[in-house]
Amino acid sequence: MPAQLDKLLNAEDFRQAARRRLPKSIFEFIDGGAEDEITLRENRTAFERRRIAPRILTDVTEPDLQTDILGTPAAAPLLIAPMGSCMLAWPEADIAIARAAAAHGIPYTLSTMSTTSIERMARAVDGPLWFQLYLFRQREFNAALIERAQKAGYQAMVLTVDLQAGGKRERDLRNGVVLPLRLSLRQIVEGVTHPRWALSMLHGGLPQFENVSGYLSAESAGLTIAARAAQNLDAGFDWGGLARIRELWPGKLIVKGVLHPADAARLVAEGVDGLWVSNHGGRQLDGAIASADALPGIVEATRGDVPIVIDSGVRRGMDVLKARAMGATAAAVGRAVLFGAAVAGEAGAARVVGILIDELQRAMRLAGVPRVSKADGSLLG
């Protein structure tokens, strides 16, 4: 690990370091949310509002973080959330983050809109891999993605259902980050004033969304493919569509984007293997309930029948402990590790994951929790 990374002590330190390294438009593309960013802010404050009531006189010499996440053994109740366009932060950032996750024994979720293909990721990383699927109107294309993930050995399918349309991200519009990407005078100036980033982009080239290359005959590189894909999301996907996906995918099926208890209960009745509580990191529907606020109702509605993953707002190891206490099986992180990769590639991502796991161990000791499996609602003050 580069020596200078020792000086970065938490996820926010990496966020600020990434702010300095990246052009403003790229940093805000990663950091920002939709419209007034109400949900983006609430995702953090919802975790911050929760309090732990520590237990005492408990042997916490060796906290046990081992967790089974939908049949995938993990060294901690933590995994990497799917993220698209990661290469804008660092060349081959998808692979860098996945390798960092594998080194720490936690699953990595590859996005449909990643800049690394399903097959190339499977060849490059020796660790647990999940695949996140967006739903396109062309059912044959969805089926092809599912088949590719199955053949490549992905252990779980994460079906994202909260993207019927793209959110209105006003920071991106103001910064000229539009689809397709157009090189403006502002972006040229940003490249000149951030030479390390510009040189890395020149070396790696513009992102190519390899999983959707060729979709609707879109062979060009960069964000043009993302634009065409976004225009073809299936806004009509419903319960019947879910049943079709269930038939196509024989492995573990997790539905991501769940915020309402009634939906959670029905998903369990429909036979899904897991739920992923998420508001897409505040990047889609502004004003949506914070994930940590939605979690208790979903836990109550499902009564422990299926594992539950939560994302959106996870920045500390303590957040992971709070999520477990509220009934989640595991917490997922996205922006935090991407900022780590933006600072120092695989080493930076690994440092962020290590910090989160170390914070969780420390929180367990101080809260009197010897095994993460013992973290439950009695911990909440």
C-alpha span between 43 and 253 (Å, rounded): 25
C-alpha span between 30 and 84 (Å, rounded): 10
CA-wise closest residue to 81 among 114, 110, 104: 110
User: Domain range spanning residue 164?
Assistant: 3-379
Q: Is 1 helix (H, G, I), strand (E, B) or coil?
A: coil
Question: Residue 108, Cα to own-chain centre: how many angstroms?
Answer: 9
Going from the C-alpha of 50 to that of each of 53, 320, 321, 322, 331, the distances in angstroms are: 10, 12, 11, 7, 15
Catalytic residue among 104, 203, 260, 280: 280
What's the pLDDT at 219?
46
Active site includes 194?
no
The predicted model scores a pTM of 0.93
Q: Which helix (H) or strand (E) holds 247?
A: helix 239-248
- Ramachandran category for residue 224: left, alpha or beta (phi over 0 → left; psi -120 to 50 → alpha): alpha
Q: Is 97 helix (H, G, I), strand (E, B) or coil?
A: helix
For tokens 């999940």, the residue is 130
pLDDT tens per residue, range 198-241: 777 776 666 678 898 877 544 444 443 444 556 778 989 999 99
**Total structural domains within the chain:** 1
CATH of the domain at 189: 3.20.20.70
Where does the pLDDT of residue 369 fall: very low under 50, low under 70, confident under 90, or very high at 90 and above?
very high
With beta carbons less than 8 A apart as the criterion, state whether 17 and 339 touch: yes
C-alpha span between 331 and 317 (Å, rounded): 10
Mean pLDDT of all residues in 354-369: 98
What's the pLDDT at 166?
81
With a cut of 50, say whether residue 336 has pLDDT above it: yes
Cα-Cα-Cα-Cα dihedral sign, residues 140, 146, 150, 153: positive
CB burial of 132-167 (b: ≥16 within 10 Å; e: otherwise) equals bbbbbeeeebbeebbebbbebebbbbbbbbbbeeeb
Mean pLDDT of all residues in 291-302: 98
With beta carbons less than 8 A apart as the criterion, state whether 30 and 163 touch: no
